[in-house]
Amino acid sequence: MKQQRPLTITAGRLVLPGEVRTGAIRCVDGQIVGIGDVTPQDGDDVVDAGGKLIAPGLVDLGVFAVDKPAFHFGGITRAALMPDQAPPLDHPARVQFLAYSGKPDFWVHPLAAATRGLEGSELAELALMLDAGARGIATGRRWIADSGIMLRLLRYAAMLDLAVVSHSEDAGLAGNAVATAGEMATRLGLPSAPAEAEALAVARDIALAEIAGARLHLRQVTTKASLDLVRAAKRRGVAVSAGVTPAHFMLSDFAMAEFRTFARLSPPLRQESDRRAVVEAIGDGTIDVISSGHDPRGPEDKRLPFADAEPGMAGAESLLAMVLSLVRDDVIDLPRAFSLLAGKPGELLGVPAGSLALDQEADIALIDPEKPWVISSARMAASAGNTPFDGQPVQGRVTALFKGGVAIG
Amino acid sequence: MTSSPNTPAMGRYPAGGLAFPHRGLLGIAGLQNHEILFLLDEAEQWVELNRRSAKHSETLAGLTIINAFFENSTRTLLSFEIAGKRLGADVVNMQAAQSSIKKGETLIDTGVTLNAMRADAIVIRHASSGAVALIADQVACPVLNAGDGQHEHPTQALLDALTLRHALRERGRSDEFNGLIVTICGDILHSRVARSNILCLSSLGARVRVCAPPALMPEAIDAMGAEPYHDFEAAMDGADAVMMLRLQNERMQGQFIPSPREYRHLYGLTAERLNRCAPNALVMHPGPMNRGVEIESDIADLMGTSLVTRQVEMGVAIRMACLDVLTRRARGVDGWAEAGERSA
């Protein structure tokens, strides 16, 4: 639906790039036209924010399902959809279909499968998929093991100016592992791989991106060793960015106790020292993006023995609250939180959204950052309740959401 | 003490049902030291019964026990079947290759189905770690873990402890497990027997060493209470007992071990290596043995040293004890019916 009448949201705390200030925001024809000392004009719809946060709608970089109720609950107005669909997003027609699938109140930005069938051997029709609406390229849940293919992919992506979103886990080391090698995996008797499987893959992908001059986004960087590699690469000026999901900064592999399959993730949960390294990297700017990795999975995928269960968590609803906990813990401030959740991912996808600035899309979330609630697996908006945070009390809820200046719900 | 060494000692554990407050037996992890001792002590009466010519009790008469084995097994299944029958229960075996289950109904549905048949105890073996606990959640009766993936095999650890205790008592060792050095050698990485034994033996006071080539040694095994060794000779030095594990043939074809003969060269139990152990050291193997690979035939058959057949004997007694103890609440045994239970 197009915005019919201008909208002014007043009396809120605006979360702008770099600062939070009291003020109002005005939107016309789906775009932001005034920020700060603006007043509603005759004929405007007026919404009183009541001192709550006025923030950009979240841009979720790397989700596995289009699950609108969960996204809207979590304040997410756009999501980059991973190509791991059935069938994979390796064909322009499927990309085009999905690019329109959420409109008007939710925008899906498909990530094109890097290789046909995500098999890692033949390049997919990337330029055609770009024209069909793809906003990036992704290797899917898998690593491209063949370094020759990966280099050619990165060069091609650089030519098209698309970021390559990679899953970095050395396939030989990872094998059939479902856990990180360590005490927990040993006690539970689960197939495990050393955490270094990630750093090995990150090192290679960075080296190849450097040769190709490509933009590389490592969707989940979860160990101290690989974060150090990202830090060093950024210092050299490599166009690399790093992401993570809340699971890896909130939980360690102890969450797998009693074979809880909601904690079966890919990459697997790490040891406590790595979890702390992730928190530190969020604080020092090494990590650029926090996404939900939203992957709702029902009992048929999760009520199985741990190693037989599918990886993934339904994370869209809890994403904002988890990141706000980092603000309360003084790891980051509010503007940086929304850079991680919206600004940087919007930039990586090349969409005019993700921050409150003039001429940006009016994707706006009103947020009560203190509102307490309890995450409950049994009562979620998502199509499945597979959250490892079940029963956890959190703070911070979206109270209203606007997509292109139009109120949702 | 006036009682014979093989009867339960008084005062070692709480009275009645509090002696074993668990609903099932899913693993050694979570068991208190006195709960392990209780099961060992309970097994002694069945060791005696099993040595008579008429080996029958009506303790579980009228009860139905289902042995649901989703992974191939001969010995463990037979042992549980005999244990149930000697206690007078009706025993039914269900053997399903895991693949056929995977194709059709889920494990959860299988659990629900078994539950609807109103078994009084279910014994489960499955190739995936954690699978037994998953089914246990779906059923109302006690569940016994007969081996889940690479996680636990609690009755094996209990029967090994019982076997060791008998052998040690015969040798007049009064402090039993205290300070006893037990070396477990073989594929520790993939072994549920090793995991359960490490937990059980260290809880009883023994020092456990594990020995394996790096590819077959799990990470952080020391955190579970075992000392890791790669050098078999060093692991044998002064050991009071050696437990040899079977190495799966498919792991000896180059992926983990270059060849069976190379494995034998480094880790085969020979008379020479046995001499490095403490005098009169004991040799154990959960079976089936690869004679001439992890253990030489003459060692496996060495009277007075090898406990391999004794382990099989104790296995039946331990499983009888577990089935008896776990069904006491439902049978309304004095002091058990009213006692609370814990889910693990």
**A229-281 pLDDT per residue, tens:** 999 999 999 999 999 999 999 999 999 999 999 999 999 999 999 999 999 99
CB contact under 8 A, B195 and A305: no
A121 touching B (Cβ < 8 Å): no
CB contact under 8 A, A185 and B151: no
| B171: annotated active-site residue | no
- Which candidate from B131, B152, B219 shows the least CB-CB separation from A185? B219
Determine the average pLDDT of the residues in A89-105. Answer: 96
Helix then strand then coil, % of chain B, to nearest 5: 40, 15, 45
Q: How far apart are CA A331 and CA A148, in angstroms?
A: 39
| B183: annotated active-site residue | no
Q: How far apart are CA A348 and CA A136, in angstroms?
A: 8
CB contact under 8 A, A305 and B131: yes
Contact residues, chain B, for A306 at CB < 8 Å: 128-130
Chain A residues 46-105 with a CB less than 8 Å from chain B: none
A308 touching B (Cβ < 8 Å): yes
Select from A176, A186, A260, A261 the residue whose CB has the most chain B CBs within 10 Å, as the one to mutate to test that interface: A186
Residue ranges, comma separated, of all CATH 3.40.50.1370 domains in chain B are: 16-152+314-331, 154-311
> By C-alpha distance, which of B125, B112, B123, B121 is closest to B151?
B125
- Which candidate from B107, B108, B133 shows the least CB-CB separation from A259? B133
* Alpha helices (H) along B176-307: 192-203, 232-236, 260-267, 271-274, 297-300
* DSSP-based three-state secondary structure for B219: coil
- Which candidate from B106, B195, B223 shows the least CB-CB separation from A189? B195
B150 touching A (Cβ < 8 Å): yes
B40 touching A (Cβ < 8 Å): no
Q: What is the predicted pLDDT for the residue at B343? A: 57
Q: How far apart are CA A30 and CA A379, in angstroms?
A: 33
Q: For residue A258, give the chain B residue with the closest CA.
A: B130
The region, left, alpha or beta by phi > 0 then psi within -120 to 50, assigned to residue A263 is alpha
Q: What is the predicted pLDDT for the residue at B5? A: 44
CATH of B154-311, one of 3.40.50.1370, 1.25.40.10, 3.20.20.140, 1.20.1640.10: 3.40.50.1370
CB contact under 8 A, A308 and B195: no
- The alpha carbon of residue B134 is apart from the nearest alpha carbon of chain A, in Å, by 7
- Which candidate from B108, B151, B221 shows the least CB-CB separation from A188? B151
CB contact under 8 A, B129 and A192: no
End-to-end CA distance of chain B: 34
Mean pLDDT across chain A: 97
Contact residues, chain B, for A183 at CB < 8 Å: 219-220, 223-224
B106 touching A (Cβ < 8 Å): yes
Q: Where are the domains of chain A?
A: 58-351+372-391
Contact residues, chain B, for A268 at CB < 8 Å: none
Q: What is the pLDDT along chain B (344 residues), one digit of tens a residue?
A: 334 444 455 568 888 889 999 999 999 999 999 999 999 999 999 999 999 999 999 999 999 999 999 988 889 999 999 999 999 999 999 987 655 555 556 788 888 888 999 999 999 999 999 999 999 998 999 999 999 999 999 999 999 999 999 999 999 887 789 999 999 999 999 999 999 999 999 999 999 999 999 999 999 999 999 999 999 999 999 999 999 999 887 777 778 999 999 999 999 999 999 999 999 999 999 989 999 999 999 999 999 999 999 999 999 999 999 999 999 999 999 999 866 666 55
- The alpha carbon of residue A394 is apart from the nearest alpha carbon of chain B, in Å, by 29
B208 touching A (Cβ < 8 Å): no
3-state secondary structure chain A: CCCCCCEEEEEEEEEECCEEEEEEEEEECCEEEEEECCCCCCCCEEEECCCCEEEECEEEEEECCCCHHHHHHCCEEEEEECCCCCCCCCCHHHHHHHHCCCCCCCEEEEEEECEHHHCCCCECCHHHHHHCCCCEEECCCCCCCCHHHHHHHHHHHHHHCCCEEECCCCHHHHCCCCEECCHHHHHHCCCEECCHHHHHHHHHHHHHHHHHCCCEEECCCCCHHHHHHHHHHHHHCCCEEEEECHHHHHCCHHHHHHHCHHHCCCCCCCCHHHHHHHHHHHHHCCCCEECCCECCCCHHHHCCCHHHCCCCECCCCCHHHHHHHHHHCCCCCHHHHHHHHHHHHHHHHCCCCCCCCCCCECCEEEEEEEEEEECCCCCCCCCCCCCCCCCCEEEEEEEEEEECCEECC
Q: How far apart are CA A196 and CA A181, in angstroms?
A: 10
| B153: annotated active-site residue | yes
- The alpha carbon of residue B153 is apart from the nearest alpha carbon of chain A, in Å, by 11
In this prediction the pTM is: 0.93
Q: What is the predicted pLDDT for the residue at B249? A: 77
One of B126, B153, B207, B246 is an active-site residue; which one?
A: B153
Q: What is the predicted pLDDT for the residue at A71? A: 98
Q: What is the predicted pLDDT for the residue at B28? A: 98
- Which candidate from B106, B126, B129 shows the least CB-CB separation from A188? B129
| B165: annotated active-site residue | no
List phi, psi (to 5°) of A400: -155, 150
Q: What is the CATH number of domain A58-351+372-391?
A: 3.20.20.140
| B85: annotated active-site residue | no
- The alpha carbon of residue B107 is apart from the nearest alpha carbon of chain A, in Å, by 7
- Which candidate from A189, A299, A300 shows the least CB-CB separation from B129? A189
Q: What is the predicted pLDDT for the residue at B100? A: 55
Contact residues, chain B, for A194 at CB < 8 Å: 219
- Which candidate from B107, B131, B220 shows the least CB-CB separation from A183? B220
CB contact under 8 A, A305 and B149: yes
A243 touching B (Cβ < 8 Å): no
One of B76, B155, B305, B327 is an active-site residue; which one?
A: B76
Say yes or no to pLDDT of A191 above 60. Answer: yes
**A379-397 pLDDT per residue, tens:** 999 999 999 999 999 999 9
CB contact under 8 A, B107 and A304: yes
Q: For residue A303, give the chain B residue with the closest CA.
A: B108
Chain B residues 319-338 with a CB less than 8 Å from chain A: none
What is the CATH architecture of B16-152+314-331?
Answer: 3-Layer(aba) Sandwich (3.40)
Q: How far apart are CA A275 and CA A277, in angstroms?
A: 5
B110 touching A (Cβ < 8 Å): no
- Which candidate from B29, B107, B223 shows the least CB-CB separation from A305? B107
* Other beta carbons within 10 Å of B158: 27
The ipTM value here is: 0.90
